[in-house]
Amino acid sequence: MKGTIIQKATGSEKEQSLDFTVPFSVSCVHCMDWGAEGEYIGFRHSLFGGTSLSLEEVAKRNFNSGFNCAESVLLAVTAELDATGRTKEHVIPRIATGFGGGIGRNGDVCGALTGGVMAISLVFGRDKPEESKELCYPVVDRFYNDFRSKFGSCKCRELTNLDMKTPEGAEAYNGQVHEEVCNPIVAWAARRVHDLIKETS
């Protein structure tokens, strides 16, 4: 399957197309955005070959490519909604990095949950202290409680039954837990956030 990666330089109208060939069928192309000094600042996905990946699949691909749970959900939802244009600086996904593993592997709030909250806040959050929080908070409240009802906990350590700071926990996570426990959570969170944003908009 042949496709194209489009590189865009910030502040420039010029696009550089790089042809590539992959040994399997893919259904989307990632358009990667690059800063003035060549730094990677984000991507979006678009239709490719007449079909697009589902939001859940994009979230899982992010997760399986090396992004953590918070980054994966935030990237998938903002790419789907093209919400990154609301930011004044290019901060996605780096703003979510420290939330992975229940905040720096401490097993606290699940990164898929915090990534989803950031995506909701990006759409419904405020820019000035005098602006109301009442558009954002009810959506976050629904997502939080839906998450807790779906999975029984919002805590990474309770969801995974692991201490990721230990060698044993890290090994178990990289074995089955990433695929069997966290992948479905990341996919569900991305879809639920997307649907809540669409319902509220």
- For 5-54, the pLDDT digits (tens) are 333 334 443 344 433 333 333 333 344 443 444 433 344 443 333 347 88
Over residues 118-142, the pLDDT tens digits come to 999 999 998 888 899 999 999 999 9
- Return the SS3 of 4: strand
pTM equals 0.70
157-172 mean pLDDT: 97
Local structure of residue 177 (DSSP, 8 states)? I
CB-based contacts of 159: which residues, under 8 Å, 6+ apart? 110, 151, 152, 153, 181, 182, 185
- pLDDT score recorded for residue 85: 61
Give 95's DSSP letter.
G
Quote the pLDDT of residue 90: 67
Q: Strand 15-21 to strand 40-47: parallel, antiparallel, or no bridges (unpaired)?
A: unpaired
Q: Residue 150 and residue 48: Cα distance in Å, rounded?
A: 33
User: What residue ranges do the domains of the chain occupy?
Assistant: 1-53, 55-200
For 52, the token pair is 């697009």
Locate the DSSP E strands across 10-143: 15-21, 28-34, 40-47
Q: Is the pLDDT of residue 97 over 80?
A: yes
